[in-house]
A and B are shown apart, each in its own frame.
Chain A
Amino acid sequence: MPRSVRTRITLLATSVTLGICVLVCAAVYVGLYLSLHREVDSFLQGEVREFQAIIQHEEDDDLKEIEREIRAELGGRPGADLTFRLLDKHGRLLITSDPEDSFPNPWPMVHTASGATASFEFFRDTHSSLRFCNQHVTFDRHGDVIVQAVYRLDRVERSLALCRWVCALAVFLAAILSYFGGKVVARNSMRPVAAITQSARNVTAKQLSLRVPRSGANDEIDELAVTLNDMLERIDAGVQRIQQFTADAAHELRTPLTALRGTAEFALSQPRSVEQLSAVIERSLEYYRVLTRITDDLLLLARLDAGQEPLRTEPCSVDTIVDEVVDLYRPLAADHGIELRMDPTSTLTASIDPGKIRRVISNLIDNAIKYMGGPGRVTIEFSTSNGTSTIRIADTGSGIPPNELPHVFERFYRVDRARSASPADAPRSIGLGLAICRSILQAHGGDLRIESTLGRGTDVSVVLPRNIES
């Protein structure tokens, strides 16, 4: 099997063209053969009828006389194309128009000449092929005889031989032409592929900005180039995202590490009391908490991205989960003058991973309390519409500025960075919460939507597919 696509296209084109050419030639040849023989047969039949008429109307009873007349009429040439013969019913020769008649005598195939209609047969003598037309006739004067017209097929054979030659020549030329034509077509159509291969070879992780050339022909190969470029575009964007993410993650880890190192060095810089040292260690533990949470979140996010985080879904009472989270946060909210309000009568059941949805809900309530910036109210409502169940968490906080709203799902993005990463205190937010929430919900086939009006508050909607009836 040839490996190159070019060779394969060439060979395929050649063999298909050749095959068609052979078929056409064969059809022409068979057609010519059949029509020539039919011509010969009808000619012979006519001749037989004429010969029959001659004998019928001949006054003379003497067969020898008739033979002489026929010979005179046909020119009596030996080896002429057309020969008339008259045989008795046993096939014995009575008269012949050929003075040098050398056909077998008696005629061996006489039985084929019985019946009313003419019969035909091939015969081969030393020189050429012959076509015999036999007609059984009963004359008043001569009784049962067989009238025979014989045609020498030399000319027909010559025509057919010529046809064969022409066909062979045509096939040969077609083979050569289609081979070279196929080669040209194959080369032209594969040229853009070679170009794509060449440039694709240069694309590496470091050079993802390269693109493959387009032929501009709008054909399949051009489409392939476009598809490859789209793919490169996506990979490029993905790699850039990962690079950005890695850089951001390193930066986020660096902040608590700097704080830890600073506190430790400061503590050791001069003798300190046990209380002072305890305070340093206590503060360090806060930073360790943050570091642990960052690495946990990064790991979870990486696994969610890779689709490796298993979802253990089961039919769950969503309202119970929300109620538990609200129960946990209510004292904290109350300390901040925030009321957590949840309609106790509404219920919601869905097929979810309870641990992960609990995480989402607590994250969102945590955010709502954290960013409220003063006394207010957080309302939690459930609603269902065809196909989806929604948990709406609405706060009366300060809202998110419209220019920041599109970025809230970005990793490590924090609204009001100055407040959340104040150096005096360990950060209370690491900017991965919403990204994780959305990834978790998308893994469930749902989504997270945020609407916000500056100064009025923020509406967060947890959308879950409604795959079981509540």
Chain B
Amino acid sequence: MRALVVEDEVGVASFIEGCLREASIAVDVAADGQAGIQLGRENAYDVIVLDLMLPIRDGFSVVRALRAEGVKAPVICLTARDAVDDRVKGLDSGADDYMVKPFSPAELLARIRALVRRTSAIATNPIRVGDLVIDVVARHVERAGRRIDLSAREFALLEYLARNVGHVLTRYMILEKVWDMNQDPLTNVVDVQMTRLRKKIDHGYATPLIHTVRGVGFVLRAD
């Protein structure tokens, strides 16, 4: 997989580059809009991460120019201004998603995955993680052949983890996706919820499947 990062802020660009590389994504970086258009035209990227405030040409015009050239790669906009009209304008210009600064690298990776998957979506059911089987349609969970009873919200939480198996989800992403909350309560509500789920999924089994990534979030993974 290959990504183009168009970002003039060196610190932000290098951190995005670093975490994409770690996720085994090849990265090219452009420091202004003009260079971004040029690279985007020359190479076939799987995803383009684009800052909206750029020197020479702003992000909106970059998206429009790339789309006019027939570049079909999904574009994620980065914006410091989370004004609604900015998002709308970005999406209208042809971007596929947006993220408000500051954001966590895990969230960026999750969104990139979601965008890339969107084009080649294969709805796998049931989802298998180790000896855990999650039937998303029947809403049925079992581990090592034993049925596990979950509340509706616990199921939603597990399903979200399972759909991103092997990838870290931040507390904020979990709150947003499972509880529809768009603020960080600063209290450890998610941790407590996760402890409950873990009790049902991992308690009494030799290998834990839900792992805490310290300081970042949680991941469902069969090592």
Q: Which chain A residues have a beta carbon within 8 Å of chain B's beta carbons?
A: 278, 281-286, 288-290, 292-293, 295-296, 299, 308, 310, 324-325, 327-329, 331-332, 335, 354-355, 358-359, 362-363, 366, 369-370, 426-430
Contacts and interface: CB of A to CB of B under 8 A. Distances in A.
A328 B215 contact: no
B187 interface: yes
Contacts of B102: 288, 292, 295
Given A331-B196, A332-B189, A369-B187, A285 B215 contact: yes
Given A281-B215, A332-B189, A296 B183 contact: yes
Contacts of A329: 189
Chain B interface mostly:
loop
Interface string B174-196: 01000111111111110011011
A325 B175 CA distance: 11
Given A282-B215, A292-B102, A362-B185, A310 B84 contact: yes
Contacts of B195: 331
B114 interface: no
Pick the 3 closest A-B CB pairs, nearest first: A282-B215, A285-B215, A331-B192
Given A292-B102, A332-B188, A428-B187, A359 B214 contact: no
A278 B214 contact: yes
Contacts of A290: 186
Contacts, number: 71
Contacts of A427: 186
B193 A293 contact: no
A389 B183 CA distance: 25
Given A282-B214, A292-B102, A328 B179 contact: yes
Interface string B15-39: 0000000000000000000000000
A283 B214 CA distance: 10
B153 interface: yes
Nearest to B151: A327
Q: Which of B82, B175, B182, B185 gathers the greatest number of chain A CB atoms within 10 Å? A: B185
B216 interface: yes
Given A292-B102, A332-B188, A362-B185, 8 more contacts: A286-B215, A293-B183, A293-B184, A299-B82, A329-B189, A331-B193, A363-B185, A428-B187
B213 to A, nearest CB: 10
A227 B220 CA distance: 65
12 contacts: A296-B184, A310-B84, A325-B181, A327-B153, A331-B189, A331-B192, A332-B187, A332-B193, A335-B192, A358-B180, A362-B183, A370-B187
Interface of B: 82-84, 102, 153, 175, 179-189, 192-193, 195-196, 214-216
Contacts of A310: 84
Contacts of B186: 289-290, 293, 426-430
Contact of A328 (B84, B183, B189, B216): B189
A403 B123 CA distance: 59
B187 A366 contact: yes
B87 to A, nearest CB: 12
A281 B84 CA distance: 33
A257 B193 CA distance: 30
Contacts of A354: 180
